[in-house]
Amino acid sequence: MGLRDSEALKPLAVLIAGPTASGKSALALDLAERTDGVIINADSMQVYGDLRILTARPTPEEEMRVPHRLYGHVDGAADYSVARWVADAAAAMATARAEGRLPIVIGGTGLYFRALTRGLAPIPEIPEEVRQRVRRMAEDEVTVVLHARLATRDPEAAVRLQPQDRQRILRALEVFEATGQPLSQWQRATHRPVLEEASAVRFVLEVERETLRGRIDRRFETMMEAGALAEVERLAARALPADRTILKAHGAPALTRYLRGEMSRADAIAEGQNDTRRYAKRQVTWFRHQMPDWMRGTPDTALDQLTGTLGL
């Protein structure tokens, strides 16, 4: 086999998904050091700069060991979308490959991976004034009423969405208000993906359920010791609009209530841990159903599996 043929067989990227606290960052760091790789974030909370500790972003020391991209590059006041992440990730991967480095895309946001490898609907950016108008309209409405309203504008989307899924219902209403077309119609016109699945090594990191629960609880306590509460206090002082994504970071709502004197510190920690465990359960379910053909392995086997697949 000639050099050109060998180069053609190299993957364009390594994708590593896994639930929160499963050890993805450590795995990506080890792999990047072995492959001269660049780590590219695929976690929808770690893109924000406000909560480094609470969102478990890599430490400054870890970021010095290998290049890290798309961590903390978005202000908490911004409305950062999946489409923007795909564009940012595509640019980061292209730059890494131009430098002769392997892009290693790592995170727990399933929607990011799906949009990257299966394409994204060409929905225009929603103007801020439209978003605010829809949000004001919805302020005094219960979610089931909003769902019924969506059914008159986009019946297909209403069937797919749970009547309690307020955020996605509002998103569908915003799209209709801004474009005059149902979200479901936009979604049928999906663009070609930035990264074809066959051109990447795809891996899901798995951890036994009770082990993962213990890791989540211990990590939250470590975050508190490292200054997570002070981060939340600084974020609260910014008085951002209540719909900003960063305010929903796991543990942030409970710690905010503690700072207001509405609950005890112990209860806030327990609620933050419970919220994170519930999120991890949803992630595991997503990866099982949406990524059935991805490689799988545990923290003990993952590095050997990946390096073996890469021929290292």
Share of the chain above pLDDT 70, in %: 96
Last residue of a domain, one of 187, 203, 229: 187
Q: Give me the number of domains the chain comprises.
A: 2
Structure pTM? 0.83
Last residue of a domain, one of 140, 167, 187: 187
* 292 φ/ψ angles, rounded to the nearest 5 degrees: -65, -25
CATH number, residue 85:
3.40.50.300
Share of the chain above pLDDT 90, in %: 80
- Residues 49, 44: Cα–Cα separation, whole Å: 12
What pLDDT is stored for residue 3 in this prediction?
A: 30
Q: Can you give the residue range of the structural domain that contains 144?
A: 128-187
**Residues 116 and 259 both lie in one domain:** yes
Last residue of a domain, one of 187, 207, 236: 187
Lowest mean pLDDT among 35-49, 128-142, 196-210, 246-260: 128-142
Where residue 190 falls among pLDDT bands split at 50, 70, 90? low
pLDDT digits (tens, 9 = 90+) for 286-295: 999 999 999 9
pLDDT digits (tens, 9 = 90+) for 58-79: 999 999 999 999 999 999 999 8
Q: Average pLDDT of 235-254?
A: 94
pLDDT at residue 81 is higher than 60: yes
Where residue 211 falls among pLDDT bands split at 50, 70, 90? very high
**Residues 135 and 64 both lie in one domain:** no
- Residue 288 has a CB neighbour count (10 Å cut-off) of 12
End-to-end CA, the chain = 18
